[in-house]
A and B are shown apart, each in its own frame.
Chain A
Amino acid sequence: MTGENGEALLIELELIEPRLFLRAAPDAAAHYALAVAKRFSLTT
């Protein structure tokens, strides 16, 4: 959010079930899938 003095302010940090807006960015789904796959290979 933009504060009254133009500063950037955090209103929410969604780590559990964020909307990812993947349809708004063509490459984003692949980025996220790679991040998940990386964690999968490291932890399982």
Chain B
Amino acid sequence: MLDIAVATSGDYPDLDEDSVPLLDALRSLGLRCEPRVWDSGFDPAAARMCLIRSTWDYDSRREEFLAWARDTNDQATLLPSLETVIWNTDKRYLSDLEARGVEVVPTVWLSRGDRLSEVMAARGWERAVVKPAVAAGSRGLIRVGLAEAPSAQPAADALLERGTVLVQPFLSSVESDGELSLLFADGELTHAVRKLARPGTSAFSPSTGGLSCSSSPATRPSPRRIRLSRLSMIPRLWRGSIW
């Protein structure tokens, strides 16, 4: 029996490049670990723990993924916890975090019949991002300017047919400062990475190719900045997740 089955997707049967160092580090601790594709011959009884890593294809079939997670959780220790998996695979978690005092990017939850142009104009948003609530990476993301909002409406409506959709302002800082990823392990901030969209691209997902990264001591935000934004409370809220 394995100690840890590291769950991945069929696109990354040997894990993604980012996860290989983690697998090596786990093995160096004496743990028997192997990658396993979650939806292809996965046997939850064959490992004591299942660590979810590169399951980036769950978003088009979330219910199937959650059923797999429940089944796995019945037979092994699931990490992150089942509750975390259910909660974090739908971006409506942003509302929960906001209710707990975390400062989140302003978010409007689109309803059937809502006009993008009216949503944006009412908030003074010249540019916005429309995205499905269940999405891995930047899949399904639509970037829209106020003037083009009417022509983007059919695409937004199509997303809405498939599930919950959110609209957020496109922050100008994205182009100058990029997006800062804060990485936590067991509640502790381990490192920070600044992600910058390359010219001509609008998103950070590695699948778009629009990503460049830097990590240095200067990238790391000050503890005061983290405290003021109340981001530091997040790892304490969800101890069920190691991240």
Contacts and interface: CB of A to CB of B under 8 A. Distances in A.
Interface of A: 1-4, 7-25, 27-40, 43-44
A14 B18 contact: no
Contacts of A22: 18-19, 21-22
Given A13-B234, A16-B52, A32-B242, A2 B173 contact: yes
A9 B51 CA distance: 29
Interface of B: 3-4, 17-19, 21-22, 24-26, 28-29, 31, 48-49, 51-56, 58, 77, 79-80, 84-85, 88-89, 91, 93-94, 97, 102-105, 136, 168, 171-174, 177, 179-181, 183, 185-186, 188, 190-191, 193, 206, 213-215, 221, 225-226, 228-229, 231, 234, 238, 241-243
A37 B23 CA distance: 12
A19 B22 contact: no
Nearest to B84: A15
Contact of B18 (A2, A19, A35): A19
A3 B171 contact: yes
A1 B22 contact: no
B229 A20 contact: no
A31 B188 contact: yes
Contact of A24 (B77, B215, B242): B215
A13 B184 CA distance: 11
B242 A35 contact: yes
Contacts of B183: 18, 20-21, 25, 28
Nearest to A25: B191
A31 B190 contact: yes
A5 B155 CA distance: 31
A34 B29 contact: yes
B190 A32 contact: yes
Contact of B26 (A2, A20, A37): A37
A15 B213 contact: no
Contacts of A1: 105, 171, 173-174, 179-180
